[in-house]
Amino acid sequence: MSSSPSFRDTPLAKVSEYWNSRPCNIRHSPQPVGSREYFEEVEARKYLVEPHIPGFAEFEKWKGKKVLEIGCGIGTDTINFAAAGAQVTAVDLTEKSLEVARQRAKVFGLEERVRFIQANAEKLSESVPVEPYDLVYSFGVIHHTPNPESVLEEIRKYLAPSSTVKIMVYNRRSWKVLWILLTYGKGRFWKLDRLVAEYSEAEEGCPVTYSYSRSGGRRLLEKHGLRVTDVMVDHIFPYSIPEYVQYQYKVVWYFRWMPKFLFRALERAFGWHLCLTATPK
Ligand SMILES: C[S@@+](CC[C@H](N)C(=O)[O-])C[C@H]1O[C@@H](n2cnc3c(N)ncnc32)[C@H](O)[C@@H]1O
């Protein structure tokens, strides 16, 4: 794990302010926010760009099961769990994301299947009744909170011996980190933690973004009573940004000429998403 004391000391209000000002994936569609077309396009774009998510989440597997999602954002994965037949409790720090996610459940007639709760994952049990869940799922969230270890401690309270935990955190040994270092950092590796946070998201200036090596991610979970059963690395964003923001998908020249198998090998070795699956020890 990156060991920046400034992340640990960041007030949660700063984190909340950042995500409230631009919820994750909010501009994934140009349609009016909250319409069915909007949500369909958001989902299509998300899984086009991050096609490994359905395989990692295994939405169908949780039919008839209880899922606790930590940091649901605008609810793309949430709705897929619910549509597949899970009973979902979805929490997020920010009201803006929850507002959009709630509207999404309404539009798709899944309100009965999802309970949304505004909560700080570091103090989850203060807001979310403690009961066992079949799956605790958190995609791209705990590396954005000042004290990820506290979230892991909280997660423990929601586990039965047969529960599964699926967590995605950012991979430190990734193409993206190298790209940030070369593009924005001019090689200033001693500023890496700050640079990664600054440029990790679509909107610059994220206050907290930790990143973990494979073994660091594994350790993070194992320190908190979990046994890691699978570690998967995936996802390199291959598109040219000026076209991408116009909803066009033009692959950058250096990936365009790369054979697909080589690009996939690169993603599996140096992808940005470190996807960990675990069960209680
Ligand atoms: C990158 S987004 C990911 C959202 C969603 N999981 C997805 O994949 O689209 C990060 C989310 O984590 C939430 N978050 C950050 N810190 C949190 C905390 N301490 N407690 C709960 N949610 C938090 C943010 O509000 C934001 O919605």
Angle value at C-alpha 2, between 241 and 172, nearest 5 degrees: 45
Q: Locate 239 and state its tokens.
A: 């598109």
Q: Cα(22) to centroid of ligand 1, in Å? A: 11
Cβ(120) to ligand 1 under 6 A? yes
CB count, 10 Å around CB of 265? 12
Q: Cα(253) to centroid of ligand 1, in Å? A: 32
Pocket test for ligand 1, best of 17, 52, 56, 92 (most atoms within 8 A of CB): 92
Yes or no: say if 46 and 28 are a contact pair by the CB < 8 Å rule. yes
Is 90 exceeded by the pLDDT of residue 162?
yes
Cβ(24) to ligand 1 under 6 A? yes
Cβ(25) to ligand 1 under 6 A? yes
If phi > 0 it is left, if psi is from -120 to 50 it is alpha, else beta; for residue 69 that is beta
Q: How many domains does the chain have?
A: 1
Q: Locate 235 and state its tokens.
A: 């996802």
Q: Cα(31) to centroid of ligand 1, in Å? A: 23
Is 90 exceeded by the pLDDT of residue 186?
no
Question: What percent of the chain is modeled with pLDDT above 90?
Answer: 94
Q: Which of 81, 87, 89 lies closest to 65, judged by CA?
A: 87
The greatest distance separating any two alpha carbons of the chain, rounded to the nearest whole angstrom, comes to: 52
Cβ(140) to ligand 1 under 6 A? yes
Q: Locate 120 and state its tokens.
A: 């700080």
Cβ(73) to ligand 1 under 6 A? yes
Average pLDDT, the chain: 96
134 contacts: CB under 8 Å, gap ≥ 6: 62, 65, 66, 67, 160, 162, 163, 164
Yes or no: say if 134 and 65 are a contact pair by the CB < 8 Å rule. yes
Cβ(97) to ligand 1 under 6 A? yes
Atom of ligand 1 lying closest to residue 19 CA: 25
Rounded average pLDDT over 206-218: 97
Rounded average pLDDT over 159-171: 98
What CA–CA distances, in Å, run from 226 to 56, 220, 277, 281?
18, 9, 9, 5
Q: Cα(116) to centroid of ligand 1, in Å? A: 13
Yes or no: say if 170 and 209 are a contact pair by the CB < 8 Å rule. yes
Is 50 exceeded by the pLDDT of residue 168?
yes
Q: Locate 113 and state its tokens.
A: 């299947």
Q: Cα(261) to centroid of ligand 1, in Å? A: 32
Pocket test for ligand 1, best of 7, 10, 19, 22 (most atoms within 8 A of CB): 19
pLDDT digit string, tens, across residues 58-67: 999 999 999 9
What CA–CA distances, in Å, run from 13 to 126, 141, 146, 197, 207?
17, 16, 11, 16, 10
Q: What is the pTM of this model?
A: 0.96
pLDDT at 3: 46
Is 50 exceeded by the pLDDT of residue 217?
yes
Measured CA to CA, the distance from residue 73 to residue 97 in angstroms comes to 5
Measured CA to CA, the distance from residue 158 to residue 200 in angstroms comes to 30
CA dihedral 75, 76, 81, 84 (to 10 degrees): 130
Q: Cα(119) to centroid of ligand 1, in Å? A: 10
pLDDT at 124: 98
Cβ(104) to ligand 1 under 6 A? no
3-state DSSP call for residue 160? Answer: strand
Atom of ligand 1 lying closest to residue 151 CA: 19
Query: Whole domain around residue 147: which residue ranges?
Result: 5-280
The CATH number for 159's domain is 3.40.50.150
Straight-line distance from the first to the last Cα atom of the chain, in angstroms, rounded to the nearest whole number: 22
Is 60 exceeded by the pLDDT of residue 2?
no
Cβ(210) to ligand 1 under 6 A? no
Any idea which of 37-46, 182-191, 216-225, 260-269 has the lowest mean pLDDT?
182-191
pLDDT digit string, tens, across residues 109-155: 999 999 999 999 999 999 999 999 999 999 999 999 999 999 999 99
Is 90 exceeded by the pLDDT of residue 190?
no
Is 60 exceeded by the pLDDT of residue 227?
yes
Rounded average pLDDT over 187-201: 89
Directed axis angle between helix 76-83 and helix 95-107, to 10°?
30
Q: What is the DSSP letter of 175?
A: H
Q: Locate 213 and state its tokens.
A: 């090596």
